[in-house]
Homo-oligomer: A and B are copies of this chain.
Amino acid sequence: MINTKLSVAIHILTMIATKSDTPITSDFIAGSVNTNPVVIRRISGQLKKAGLISAHVGKASFTLEKEPEEITILMVYQAVQTHDDLFSIHDNPNPHCWIGKNIQSTLDKTFQRAQRALEQELNNQTLADLIKNLSTNR
C-alpha cells in the first residue's frame, strides 16, 4: 500500500488554498492533519520544490504558486513520491532460462500501462475539484 504522503500533501494544499488573509503556519496545519509540524514541513518542502507552493524561512507565508484549477492530483502525487515506478520487478532472474531472460521487459510493459492508467486518472482531477467536493459537506 502506498504511504500517506499524498493524502497529507493534498490536505496541506487545500488548507493553503482556502485560507483567508491571515497566514497559516506548519503548526496550524499539523493541528488539522493531526501530526507533527515537522512532518508538514517535510512534505511542504517537496511541494515547494515542485513549484506548487512558496514558503519563506521566518515567516508564516505558505502560498499557492498556481491556481487550484491548474494543480492536478498527478502533480501532487509526483511531487511527493520517491520512486518513479509504481511496481517493482524482482531483479536478477536467471538469464539461462528463456522466461527469466525476458520476463523483465515484458513485465515492464504491463506495469507501465497500468501506471499510465493510474496517472491519467490522477491527471483528470484538480485541487479545485477536490475543494469543491469538500465544500459540499461543509
Nearest-CB residue, chain B, relative to A89? B7
Q: Are A94 and B3 in contact (CB under 8 A)?
A: no
Complex CA distance for A118 and B134, rounded to whole angstroms: 24
Q: Are B14 and A103 in contact (CB under 8 A)?
A: yes
Chain B residues positioned under 8 Å from A103 (CB to CB): 10-11, 14, 134
Known: A133-B106, A134-B103. A88 touches B1 (CB 8 A): yes
24 residue pairs from A and B, CB less than 8 Å apart: A1-B82, A4-B89, A7-B87, A7-B89, A10-B107, A11-B93, A11-B103, A14-B103, A32-B99, A32-B100, A33-B90, A33-B93, A34-B93, A34-B100, A101-B137, A102-B134, A106-B133, A110-B130, A113-B121, A113-B125, A114-B118, A115-B118, A117-B118, A118-B121
Q: Hey, which bits of chain A sit against chain B, CB under 8 A?
A: 1-4, 6-8, 10-11, 14-15, 18, 31-35, 73, 82-83, 85-94, 97-103, 105-107, 109-110, 113-118, 120-122, 125, 130, 133-134, 137-138
